[in-house]
Amino acid sequence: MSAVAVRLLALVLVLAAAFAHGAVEIGQPAPPLKGLLVSGDDFDLAEHRGKVVLVNFYSSYCRHCALEIGSLESAVETYGPKGLVVIMLGVDQLKDKGRVARMLGIYNLQGGMVDELTECGFERRYPTPTAFLIDREGIVREKYWGAKTMPRMREILAPYFTP
Count of H-run helices and E-run strands, the chain = 4, 8
Residue 142 CB contacts under 8 Å (≥ 6 apart), including other chains: 26, 132, 133, 156
pLDDT value of residue 124: 83
Q: What is the pLDDT along the chain (163 residues), one digit of tens a residue?
A: 676 554 544 434 433 434 444 578 999 999 999 999 999 999 999 999 999 999 999 999 999 999 999 999 999 999 999 999 999 999 999 999 999 999 999 999 999 999 999 999 999 889 999 999 999 999 999 999 999 999 999 999 999 998 7
Q: What is the predicted pLDDT for the residue at 112?
A: 95
What does the pLDDT read at residue 22?
A: 54
pLDDT at 23: 78
Count of beta carbons in the 10 Å neighbourhood of residue 108: 11
Confidence (pLDDT) at 1: 66
What's the pLDDT at 125? 84
Task: Provide the whole-model pTM.
Answer: 0.84
pLDDT of residue 11: 39
Q: Which candidate, 126, 58, 130, places its Cα nearest to that of 92?
A: 58
Q: What are phi and psi of 141, to 5 degrees?
A: -100, -30
Q: What are phi and psi of 73, to 5 degrees?
A: -60, -45
The predicted structure's pLDDT at residue 16: 40
Out of 3.30.70.1290, 3.40.50.300, 3.40.1190.20, 3.40.30.10, the CATH code matching 24-160 is 3.40.30.10
